[in-house]
Amino acid sequence: MKETKTARKGPVRAKKPEPPKKKVPLPRPPGQEKAIEEFAAAIKLFQKRELARARAAFQEVLANYPGETEIADRVRTYVQICDRTLHPSAPRLKDPDDFYHQGVVLMNQQNLEEASRMFERALSQDPGSEKCLYAQATVFALSGRRDEALEILRRAIAANHANRPRAANDSDFEPLRDDAEFQALVRTEQGRDD
């Protein structure tokens, strides 16, 4: 019997691991690259706070690439954000104070007709609210509704005598400044304010 050589020459060396192969990205479906470019352009408009233009650009991406569901989901989210920012929902008004504050906002925006409606709603719930009466009187004065302004101002002064000097110095009553009835209404006798 022949002897076989089993002797080894030194320690067994493990093979060097092969470097990992670079993963080659799968090719994108046709049109996806263009959809991503347009989406990125819309995002830039969004970041610049050009929301109307951004919304239109997002809508174009949806219209041009309906099959790109992954992008479309993101686009819809951005469209919703644009919509909420561009067209905020009207505040939910419940009590007289809500209507009063909304009326003041509208009055400051020079939307006198809508402000008057808000004050009317507040007064329908709290007819004696001196602040709502006074605000309604200012809206009527600014709107050129003299008789209504004087009538409501009279009620506001009756509810709170501090409204007399306030109205005398309030620029919102400028249209009535030279009116004799207004002057008599806001005039205070010396030492007496009622």
Band of residue 26 on the pLDDT scale cut at 50, 70, 90: low
Band of residue 8 on the pLDDT scale cut at 50, 70, 90: low
Whole-model pTM?
0.55
Q: Class assignment of domain 96-186?
A: mainly alpha
Which own/partner pairs from 107-114 qualify as long-range (CB within 8 Å, at least 24 positions apart)?
Answer: 107/135, 107/138, 107/139, 107/142, 112/139, 112/142, 112/143, 113/143
- Give the mean model confidence (pLDDT) for residues 163-185: 94
Is the confidence at residue 99, as pLDDT, over 50? Answer: yes
The better pLDDT of the pair 191, 93 is held by 93
Give pLDDT tens digits for 56-90: 999 998 898 888 888 888 888 899 998 888 887 76
Separation of alpha carbons 5 and 3, rounded Å: 6
Q: What percent of the chain is helix, strand and coil (3-state, nearest 5)?
A: 65, 0, 35
CA 156 to chain CA centroid, nearest Å: 33
Sign of the C-alpha dihedral computed for residues 35, 39, 40 and 41 taken in this order? positive
Burial 82-103 (b: 16+ CB within 10 A, else e): beeeeeeeeeebeebebbbebb
The single residue listed with the structure tokens 């090719």 is 27
The domain ranges of the chain are 32-86, 96-186
Q: For residue 49, what is the DSSP state?
A: T
Supply φ then ψ for residue 144, to 5 degrees: 80, 20
